Structure 1
Amino acid sequence: MLLPGSRYPLYYPQYISGYEGVKITTTKLISTMEMEPLTRGIVIFGATGDLCKRKLIPALHKLWEKDLLPNGFVITGAARRDIRVSAWKESLGNYSEEFMNMLDYVSCDLSNQESLNHLPETDDTTYFLSVPPERYEWAIINLKQGGFLDDPETSRVVIEKPFGYDLKSANHLQSVVGRHL
């Protein structure tokens, strides 16, 4: 399906930022996208929150349904709340057993570096900060000091907006990111 006045199909990206391993090939009516797997897993901090339940897990599920997640991909939910893995999975909604087997849950606190030791040790991980902006600074510092962000080729941090509350806090957060990432 094409938008009026557009040469690009609705369901394919027109621009992908930051992915060197992406190759987009376009033919007359068919567009395909080949993507080199860039991550083997994702850790979602704030996993008991609304954003995770309503947006992140459904989006990852759609990628899984389209076979766009690499084999062995692991989704780890992390939050301060001390709950069982099964209770967290139940709270997410109805998904296939095969998809649910990709999910795990760890209780940890981003402001406590020692509690981050409960996170799984994986070579290639994206850390998604679905937490309030006031927790970003300690999250980045503790992930870095804990050794989770030592290799920029195999570890990434996604910061959920808003990026601070005002210009002053945004500038401060930018300096923290610049120093530690």
Structure 2
Amino acid sequence: MTASSDNGGIVKNIFAGYFILLLHVLLLVVLGLFIVFFRGLVLYLPWIVGGLTVLLLLSAWWFYRRYRRGARSLAGALAAVPTGRAVEISLLGGLASMRVGAPVAGAGGGPVPLQLEDPRSARLRQLDRLLEMYQQQLISREEFLALKAELLAALPEEQDSGQGTTIAIRCETTEP
């Protein structure tokens, strides 16, 4: 019974040895290809750069000839770009993009500053946080009243309507 199990082990070892030899041959072939490729790249680099330069010049000549044949000049083709608004140019699926043109003008004629939240709602949110801190007893009543007065004094007055806005915050505490 041991003879059959030894034969299976010997066959496995022979196949493993051949597999290792095959991997070594494959490694040598890949290494040889890398040497040939990089040596060829270094030897033929001036030809590669020269060919790419010629290809670039030929494409520029073809572009110029095409616009001349269409009875348009390059300045006329570029005049079709919309003026007075920004144009975004995206390359490689948005990987590289740039915006060309005038910035968006505001009411005063200048660029509009980016603003995510109006100051009034930001201050109201700060007041809400202040009230939560007071209710959790993280700040004292005097600190709460001083900070509340400071925030309410910083609120801008409404210019459009003649009425003032009153904000009342009621705080109740239960003393232990």
Fold match (TM-score > 0.5):
no
What's the TM-score once normalised by structure 1's chain length?
Answer: 0.20
Q: Which has the higher strand share?
A: 1
What's the TM-score once normalised by structure 2's chain length?
Answer: 0.21
Q: Which has the higher helix share?
A: 2
